[in-house]
Amino acid sequence: MATSLKNLNDYNKENFADISDKKFGIVVAEWHSDITDALCAGAIDTLLQHGAKRENIFRNTVPGSFELTLGAQFLALQEEIDAVICLGVVIKGDTKHDDYINNAVANGLTTVALKFNKPVSFGLVTTNTLEQALERAGGKHGNKGVEAAAAAVHMLSF
């Protein structure tokens, strides 16, 4: 699906299942919210393009990316939710906070997916700079929200 320097919407949609009755929970971190809002817009557009109904897409916010895991768990617990899409941006700073957050989110979301047996997408943009994050939220490196939503739809077709 994704490769560098490519705009990333060239996955094969034809094999995807009908998602017109599927319900999606989206969890959006509020840190760098201008960027996470763009990721979320890309995710929602993608779900709609694949046939999801707007009223079946539920957007929730959490303070920061570290909280994506618990937000995902709250949603995955709800029986009617078929898949969860998690979106955040973590930018490297002077300390190792990014490592701790990124690893916690990757491990946490994996655990939630396996515990609830539901797709939980990892839409966490982890970059060295703000510019690199913008490039991945509708810029020259595509929109990782689009990819996270497409991954959820793909997994519902498994």
Binding interface with ligand RBF (CB under 6 A): 29, 31, 63-67, 88-91, 95, 97, 101
Pairing of strands 57-62, 83-91: unpaired
Q: What single string gives the DSSP state of each residue in 34-99?
A: HHHHHHHHHHHHHHHHTT--GGGEEEEEESSGGGHHHHHHHHHTSTT--EEEEEEEEE--SSTHHH
- Closest approach, Cβ 62 to ligand RBF, in A, equals 7
DSSP symbol at 142:
E
Q: What are phi and psi of 69, to 5 degrees?
A: -65, -50
Q: Which residue is nearest to ligand RBF (CB)?
A: 64
- Of 30 and 45, the one with the shorter C-beta distance to ligand RBF is 30
- Of 80 and 93, the one with the shorter C-beta distance to ligand RBF is 93
Q: Which of 32, 50, 97, 154 is catalytic?
A: 97
- Closest approach, Cβ 106 to ligand RBF, in A, equals 13
Pairing of strands 83-91, 120-127: parallel
Question: Is 97 considered catalytic here?
Answer: yes
- Closest approach, Cβ 103 to ligand RBF, in A, equals 12
- Of 22 and 144, the one with the shorter C-beta distance to ligand RBF is 144
Amino acid letter for position 23: K
Active site residues: 97
